[in-house]
């Protein structure tokens, strides 16, 4: 039987990468530092990362849920392309468990993932190669999106699988909180990097004003009590209430359910230059 599970859910943002001097988001960064201390103390044997995709890995075919049997991260924000150490047999066992639990989960091989997966691994573990990693993708960007209740059910099914594994498992939920990236506000699924950059630059001023701290705080409170009814209400209406990027908190729901418990917020801060409400929360372990 597993020796324990730790959940860390955290926002990600390319803006944090661009802030080379680390002068913004100091409250959020302090929360991340504490989360890293908790992870180090927990000393995990492997990692399951639940994250979304910014219409980069999945474009023409967009699975609601996917388990990567092998994967890397794309070159981005000055970081080079790199491989992830995916334990293929364990990842396949997870996929087969989810299929047996009536989830039509997809599997993918040699997929290149973006900062949604890479940033929390670098911040919480110090690098992409620190531990074996199973990436689980949840569609948070390209409608139609899976309903919150289904995402929670996926998390519960992953909990059943993880509870049968040996060792300590770190579960990371990556995304959110409220934000509305200009490149995701358009319906186009086939933007090239130049067009994506143009949309982001032209829409940045407006995106700064689309953070919704009230919604973020309501979500964090619902996670702290694991109120699934309230979580479903907030998440299923995220586009209208928290911007298209708010849909990424589906990853938090799946991670919390996989961990089997409520999450305690460590920090929350709206960072306009990063166009995002930045939060980090952890489970008790």
pLDDT (0 to 100) of residue 49 = 98
- Sequence-distant (6+) residues with CB within 8 A of 109 are 68, 69, 70
Which domains does the chain possess? 2-283 (3.40.830.10)
CA distance 270 to 272: 6
For a pLDDT cut of 90, what percent of the chain falls above it? 83
pLDDT at 253 over 70: yes
**Residue 23 exposed, middle or buried by CB count within 10 Å (0-12, 13-18, 19+):** exposed
Mean pLDDT of the 216-224 span: 97
Mean pLDDT of the 57-79 span: 93
Total residue count of the chain as it appears in this document = 285
- Sequence-distant (6+) residues with CB within 8 A of 102 are none
- Helix (H) / strand (E) containing 192: none
pLDDT (0 to 100) of residue 285 = 60
- Catalytic residue list: 115, 179
Helix axes 250-259, 213-225, angle to 10 degrees: 20
pLDDT at 119 over 90: yes
Strand partners, 282: 8, 264
Distance (Å) of CA 229 to CA 21, 101, 103, 125, 234: 41, 22, 21, 33, 9
CA distance 55 to 139: 9
pLDDT at 75 over 50: yes
1: confidence class by pLDDT, cuts 50, 70, 90: very low
CA distance 148 to 159: 17
Mean pLDDT of the 132-144 span: 96
pLDDT at 254 over 50: yes
For a pLDDT cut of 70, what percent of the chain falls above it? 98
pLDDT (0 to 100) of residue 99 = 98
pTM attached to this predicted model? 0.95
pLDDT (0 to 100) of residue 54 = 87
Choice among 29-33, 55-59, 118-122, 143-147 with the minimum mean pLDDT:
55-59
pLDDT digits (tens, 9 = 90+) for 151-203: 999 999 999 999 999 999 999 999 999 999 877 767 767 777 777 778 878 87
pLDDT (0 to 100) of residue 30 = 97
pLDDT (0 to 100) of residue 171 = 98
pLDDT at 123 over 70: yes
Choice among 12-16, 98-102, 279-283 with the minimum mean pLDDT:
12-16
Place of tokens 């699924």: 189
Tokens of 118: 């890479």
Neighbours of 50 (CB within 10 A): 32
């Amino acid at each position: 039987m597993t020796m324990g599970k730790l959940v860390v859910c955290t926002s990600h943002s390319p803006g944090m990468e661009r802030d080379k001097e680390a002068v913004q988001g100091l409250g959020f960064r302090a929360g991340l530092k504490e989360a890293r201390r908790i992870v180090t103390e927990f000393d995990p044997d492997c990692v399951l990362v639940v994250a979304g995709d910014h219409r980069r890995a999945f474009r023409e075919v967009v699975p609601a849920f996917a388990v990567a049997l092998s994967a890397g991260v794309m070159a981005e924000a000055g970081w080079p392309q790199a491989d992830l150490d995916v334990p293929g047999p364990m990842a396949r066992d997870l996929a087969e468990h989810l299929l047996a639990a009536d989830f039509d989960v997809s599997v993918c091989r040699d997929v290149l993932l973006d900062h949604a997966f890479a940033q929390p691994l670098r911040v919480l573990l110090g690098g992409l190669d620190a531990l074996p990693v199973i990436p689980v993708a949840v569609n948070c960007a390209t409608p139609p999106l899976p309903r919150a209740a289904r995402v929670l059910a996926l998390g519960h099914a992953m909990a059943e699988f993880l509870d049968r594994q040996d060792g300590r498992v770190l579960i990371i939920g990556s995304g959110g909180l409220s934000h509305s990236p200009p490149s995701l506000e358009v319906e186009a699924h086939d933007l090239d990097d130049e067009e994506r950059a143009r949309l982001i630059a032209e829409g940045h001023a407006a995106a700064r004003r689309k953070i919704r701290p009230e919604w973020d705080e309501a979500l964090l409170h619902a996670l702290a009590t694991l109120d699934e009814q309230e979580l479903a209400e907030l998440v299923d209406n995220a586009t209208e209430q928290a911007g298209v990027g708010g849909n990424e908190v589906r990853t938090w729901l799946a991670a919390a359910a996989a961990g089997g418990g409520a999450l305690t917020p460590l920090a929350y801060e709206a960072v306009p230059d990063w166009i995002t409400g930045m939060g980090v929360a952890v489970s008790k372990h």
